[in-house]
Structure 1
Amino acid sequence: MINMINIKYKLYDHVSADGDISEHLLYLERLSRDCNSILECGVRSVVSSWAFLNGLVKNATTTPKMLHSCDLDRSSNINELEIACVENSVSFKFHKCSDLVLPYQKYDMIFIDTWHVYGHLKRELSKLHEMAAKYIVMHDTEIDGIHGETIRNGWNPHQQSIDTGIPVDEIMKGLQPAIDEFLAEHKEWKIKAHFTHNNGLTVLERI
């Protein structure tokens, strides 16, 4: 008999770890139960993905479940996630690209944990909000709320500006102004939850 991957164990293994998102994982799992389809932008080493998969599996509706992941690089840990999705009848796809060039597709929830600067999030929200039916979730909205993570990490904003086409001043600014501007322009969205611990997490809900 083939031993299936214990997705609950995978989730709680990360919950018990001292990670930069570990304290939000159970909340993300609960939020995911209200979804049939999720897009995760910024997968890194595959942590929050287990919260999303657990939530999708606990959704009792008969609607087919789907988890799509997007990142510039594919972690080797994606392979295990992909197998677990197959074992739990969840359709999985990995997009190896920037989320700014993703093809249009509707998802119940879109999770954003990519490059934490004003200019990038502004462009993400402009593109992705039309693809989100219920929720947009953003991580690191506290630690990088005022100043962009480029400053925190000591990266070169001028080189990043050359590489991305985003102005230097938009790279230096943090995430909160992008969120505030988006909400001012899009009255169909509201803040559902905002957490300041564990680097911050902000959830927008479509009205």
Structure 2
Amino acid sequence: MYNSFSSEISVSLGKCKSLLRVRLKHNGLTGGVPDNFWGLHRVYLLELNENLLNEIGLLGNLVVFSGSGNSFTGRISASMVKLRQLDRLDLSKNELTGGIPEGICKWVNLNELNLANNRLSGRIPSEISSLPVLNYLDLSRNLFSGKVPIELQNLKLNLLNLSNNQLSGELPPFYANKIYSKSFLGNPGLCGDIAGLCPDTGESKNQQYLWIL
């Protein structure tokens, strides 16, 4: 990592069956990932951050997948839900589209999920609330719409960031306080009992009721 590697990942890397960790972040790697690379079943750490790659693959024993700052496009592969050993998944700062795939409840070991700064859309699945050890959730700067799932308040999160999306409706009661106000900014249709949370009106919900009366 932190070299000046360019061009594509060498096919010969996929022949090193004894590899346990692959750290190629902060280079200028381009193109796809060689098919035989995904046959390295002993690899548990994969870091491809800050490259120019455009493909996502699978490794059965993967614990950490750090792929931020690439040029990943298209949908998050539905087969990624099979990565049951994942502890950290970082796909932030890419060009991913579509929604979060169904079946993420299989990520029972996931501690950190970072999908910020993409073009993901659709509703935030309530299935996220079933992840038993999740404590870091960043879905900011996407195109997610609909309500914030009330089930999310069952998670014990150290960080929650759903800012700058297209969410609407009222906040779950647990998050309707100043502690979490910055977690939801930049969602014009989202309101709660926090003054200033609704940027279009600049009023809290109670103030709106008074205006109507």
TM-score relative to the length of structure 2: 0.28
- The one of the two structures with greater contact order (alpha-carbon pairs below 8 A, sep at least 6) is 1
Whichever of the two has the greater Rg, that structure is 2
More helix by share: 1
TM-score relative to the length of structure 1: 0.29
